[in-house]
Amino acid sequence: MNLGEIFRSVLLNLQANKFRVFLTSLGIIIGSFTIIMVVGIGKGSEKAVADQYKRLSVETIMIRKARISSGGGGRQLTNEQAAQMKDLANVKAVGFTLGAQAGISYGSATENTSVLGVSESYQQMINLELASGNYLRDKDGEKRNKVALLGDNIAQLLFGEHLADVIGKTVTIKGRKYEVKGILKRVGDGVLGSDNGGGLPAGFGGGGSIDDSVFIPYEVAEKYIAGSRSSPMITVQAENINAVAPAIEEISEFIENKTGDSSSYSIMDAGSRLSTAQATAKTMSALLIAVATIVLVVGGIGIMNVLFVSVKERTREIGILKSIGAKRKDILREFLLESMLISIAGGMIGSGLSLVTLPLLKYLNLQAIPSTEGILLGLIFSVLTGTFFGYYPALKASKLKPIHALNYE
């Protein structure tokens, strides 16, 4: 029988059992949907990681007190001591940050956002650019001046579109009044159109975008914003990219000398932190793909089940076809094609659903990127599942002896 005819007869069968076909393909629909979502979310989180580290140059080294200190040894490194790291041969600059989520208000407008205490040097390290006003100075910190730099988004949320005369106005952060010292340039809508550009390095008080952040002097944040248990992150900039490794060694030795135990601090350069974060994102993706695969396998078993029922129901028909000359391969192809069609249709419906759903994920604060890769993967997996699980019932059907099939009631 030529393939066109087999195809026609399969379609006829599917049509006659629409509801069952739908139920059968449900497993495949959900499976391919999951795969595409997972790939989208995986890509999204990889991109988010990349964005987060985008503003940190590879010369950056981050030092922070390890959450679980090993053996409790070692004294805390004071900020004065840490600042001395600037004198190390391979270190160009040392900056401090300390952050927390806090409420900020102006008039009746109130926003909750990440408030970061930063040292003067840190502003240069992450290339903060002013739209208007002045940078924070170390003097501001020493004098505990309550001044703030506002990210573009947060400034707009508080003051509206017109930011011209905002400098010098007073905002309230965590119940205390701060003078607006500067407004930062918008980083989000860069020429490249990156939608989450200008992210801040992970490990910060809030993470997130510079546009949504408020910067205040480090010492002020230490006093009024951060809790007593939070420890600062020390950011060190190496002289150049080749100085990163020697700088890490120097820093480790320095901390060892000052505190007696360097292992209670984690020292990591931006490059390896980035790759660790990416690896984490990848592991996550792999895990989710495993879950999606399980869903598909379950869907495949569903197909196999229904196909077995279908073979049973049509045993007589198979007998008739064989008695008038159908060969094994005719029967095999018919049932295999049926299962493949079900799975292809399921895969396509699943893809369609995922394309509709992926953009909605941003409301859950998940970044997901639809990709042809994901859709291809989803479709390929569906077809493979359909073929794999359809093969056995189809083979069984094709091997039915005509005499037994004909006499089947």
Partner 1 sequence: MNTDAIRMNGIKKSYGAGATRVNVLNEVSLKVKKGEFVAVLGPSGSGKTTLMNIIGLIDTHDEGEYILDGEDLESKDENEYSEIRNRKIGFVFQKFNLITKYTALYNVALPLLLRGADRRQAEESAAKMLEKVGLADRKHYKPVELSGGQQQRVAIARALVGEANIILADEPTGALDTKTGQEIVEILKTLNKNGKTIVLITHDTNIAKQAGRIIHVRDGQVYEH
Please state the closest distance from residue 1 (CB atom) to partner 1, in A. 5
Q: Which amino acid is at 18?
A: K
Which tokens sit at 406?
Answer: 């004909």
Closer residue to partner 1 (CB): 139 or 327? 327
Closer residue to partner 1 (CB): 38 or 318? 318
Please state the closest distance from residue 341 (CB atom) to partner 1, in A. 17
Please state the closest distance from residue 399 (CB atom) to partner 1, in A. 9
Q: What are phi and psi of 234, to 5 degrees?
A: -100, 125
Contact status, residue 2 vs residue 323, Cβ threshold 8 Å: no
Q: Return residues touching partner 1 (CB under 8 A).
A: 1-2, 4-5, 12-13, 16, 316-317, 319-330, 401-403, 406
Please state the closest distance from residue 303 (CB atom) to partner 1, in A. 21
Please state the closest distance from residue 325 (CB atom) to partner 1, in A. 2
Q: Which residues pair with 267 in a beta bridge?
A: 63
Please state the closest distance from residue 401 (CB atom) to partner 1, in A. 8
Closer residue to partner 1 (CB): 144 or 329? 329
Please state the closest distance from residue 404 (CB atom) to partner 1, in A. 9
Closer residue to partner 1 (CB): 6 or 306? 6
Closer residue to partner 1 (CB): 176 or 404? 404
Closer residue to partner 1 (CB): 223 or 396? 396
Cα 67 to Cα 266: distance, rounded to the nearest angstrom: 9
Number of H helices and E strands in the chain, helices first, is: 13, 10
Q: What are phi and psi of 205, to 5 degrees?
A: -50, -40
Cα 29 to Cα 347: distance, rounded to the nearest angstrom: 5
CA distances from 305 to 84, 301, 342, 387 (A): 71, 6, 13, 14
Closer residue to partner 1 (CB): 258 or 314? 314
Cα 154 to Cα 104: distance, rounded to the nearest angstrom: 9
- 132 in helix, strand or coil? strand
Closer residue to partner 1 (CB): 12 or 89? 12
Contact status, residue 295 vs residue 347, Cβ threshold 8 Å: no
Closer residue to partner 1 (CB): 257 or 407? 407
Please state the closest distance from residue 389 (CB atom) to partner 1, in A. 25
Q: Which residues pair with 171 in a beta bridge?
A: 178
Please state the closest distance from residue 394 (CB atom) to partner 1, in A. 16
Strand (E) or helix (H) holding 148: strand 147-150
Strand (E) or helix (H) holding 215: strand 213-217
Taking Cα atoms as reference points, which of 76, 354, 360 lies closest to residue 230?
76
Strand (E) or helix (H) holding 99: strand 91-106
Closer residue to partner 1 (CB): 306 or 379? 306
The set of residues, in sequence order, having a beta carbon less than 8 Å from that of 277 and lying 6+ positions away, is: 49, 52, 53, 202
Taking the CA atoms of residue 191, residue 215, residue 235 and residue 186 in that order, the dihedral angle to the nearest 10 degrees is 0
Closer residue to partner 1 (CB): 312 or 316? 316
The set of residues, in sequence order, having a beta carbon less than 8 Å from that of 340 and lying 6+ positions away, is: 383, 386, 387, 390
Please state the closest distance from residue 332 (CB atom) to partner 1, in A. 12
Please state the closest distance from residue 9 (CB atom) to partner 1, in A. 8
Q: Tokens 């505990």 identify what position?
A: 144
Taking Cα atoms as reference points, which of 83, 78, 102, 103 lies closest to residue 93?
83
